[in-house]
Amino acid sequence: MYTLRRLTAEHAPALLAFETANRAWFARTIPDRGEDYFTHFAQRHTAILAEQAAGLHHFHVVVDPAGEIAGRVNLVDVADGSAELGYRIAASAAGRGLATAMVAQVCALAANAYGLTGLTAVTTLDNPASAAVLRRNGFTVDGPITLGDRPGERYVRDLVNPAE
């Protein structure tokens, strides 16, 4: 069984291994994090945990039955009752409904534990799997965007009055 856990300092080595092992997989559909992310990972991890403690973000890891990190689902830029959802699932765990299930759990946490009233998310048009995850979790298209040089769409979800 896969579990969702709030990101902690203890996750740092496993998270770096996850990001490194899946770097090429992620770069197929989202901009690469760049060398600086990997070179200064420890400092960055410490900084984002401080931001999480301040309530600016809510970071989560998806842990597989063997205890390895198989994904991330994050709520960033928390402000005025809203946050932006972002997620990534390892190549080895993709295509099994894991992203849909973990996004659903984070949406519930957003409303019930973090007191958020709305979420946004973005994806590129060439990533239909990501768009499907959002639609299955009650997100609706809010309009077109450009991510880097790629066309995409912005999605929204109301956590107070979700669509029936």
pLDDT tens for 27-58 read 777 776 877 888 899 999 999 999 999 999 99
Q: Options 3.40.630.30, 3.10.20.310, 3.40.640.10, 3.40.50.970; which CATH number does 3-158 get? A: 3.40.630.30
Q: Helix/strand/coil (H, E, C) string of 58-108?
A: EEEEEECCCCCEEEEEEEEEEECCEEEEEEEECHHHCCCCHHHHHHHHHHH
pLDDT at 144: 98
Return the ∠ at Cα 106 (arms to 52 and 140), rounded to 5°. 115
Higher pLDDT, 132 or 150: 132
- Determine the average pLDDT of the residues in 98-102: 97
- Contacts for 47 with CB less than 8 Å, ≥ 6 apart: none
Question: Which residue, chain included where needed, has tokens 């929204």?
Answer: 156
Question: Which residue, chain included where needed, has tokens 């403690």?
Answer: 53
- Residue 162: pLDDT above 70? no
CA distances in angstroms from 5 to 39, 43, 153, listed in the order given: 25, 21, 28
- Determine the average pLDDT of the residues in 141-148: 93
Higher pLDDT, 28 or 96: 96
Give the domain ranges of the chain.
3-158
- Residue 71: pLDDT above 60? yes
Round to whole Å and give the CA distance between 51 and 32: 22
Least confidently predicted of 83-87, 93-97, 106-110: 93-97
Position 148 confidence tier, pLDDT thresholds 50, 70, 90? confident
Round to whole Å and give the CA distance between 141 and 57: 23
By the 10 Å C-beta count (0-12 exposed, 13-18 middle, 19+ buried), 68 is classed as: middle
- Residue 163: pLDDT above 70? no
- Determine the average pLDDT of the residues in 136-141: 98
Query: What is the bridge-based pairing of β-strands 58-63 and 69-79?
Result: antiparallel
pLDDT at 14: 95
Position 157 confidence tier, pLDDT thresholds 50, 70, 90? very high
